[in-house]
Amino acid sequence: MKLLLITAIKEFENDVKNILVKSGAKSFTYNEVNGFKNETNRIVTDSWFATSYSETESLLFTVFVLEEHTAQIIEKITKFNNEQESLSNIHIALVALEQQF
């Protein structure tokens, strides 16, 4: 069993759900979160609001999945990201579980 943590902008909600369902995930949870991006390396005066950070309405998916389904999920997310014209991507972290209750 693996734990996947997936973050994506709100606009990608249905895409992430479709990837998970079509890749064998039996269940998952998700919550709305505020994404934060530190843009201090960008010139602050280039922005109308002159701030060095930005926040985005995002989603955090928590997915417990059998190990054999993880490669397919990662592959589909990678393909999705490669086909995007936007600057935003779906991000995924894979965590091995030592114990599960």
pLDDT at 78: 96
For residue 78, being part of any structural domain is answered with: no
For residue 97, being part of any structural domain is answered with: no
Q: Tally Cβ neighbours within 10 Å of residue 62.
A: 13
For residue 14, being part of any structural domain is answered with: yes
For residue 76, being part of any structural domain is answered with: no
- Does this model's pTM top 0.95? no
Distances (CA, A) of 10 to 24, 58, 66: 22, 5, 26
For residue 30, being part of any structural domain is answered with: yes
For residue 55, being part of any structural domain is answered with: yes
pLDDT at 99: 74
User: Which of 92, 79, 100 is CA-nearest to residue 8?
Assistant: 92
For residue 72, being part of any structural domain is answered with: no
Query: Based on the structure, what is the number of domains in the chain?
Result: 1
Give me the domain span that covers residue 47.
1-66
pLDDT tens for the chain, residues 1 to 101: 899 999 999 999 999 999 999 999 989 999 999 877 766 655 545 555 545 567 788 999 999 998 899 999 999 999 999 998 888 899 999 988 777 77
For residue 91, being part of any structural domain is answered with: no
pLDDT at 40: 62
pLDDT at 51: 52
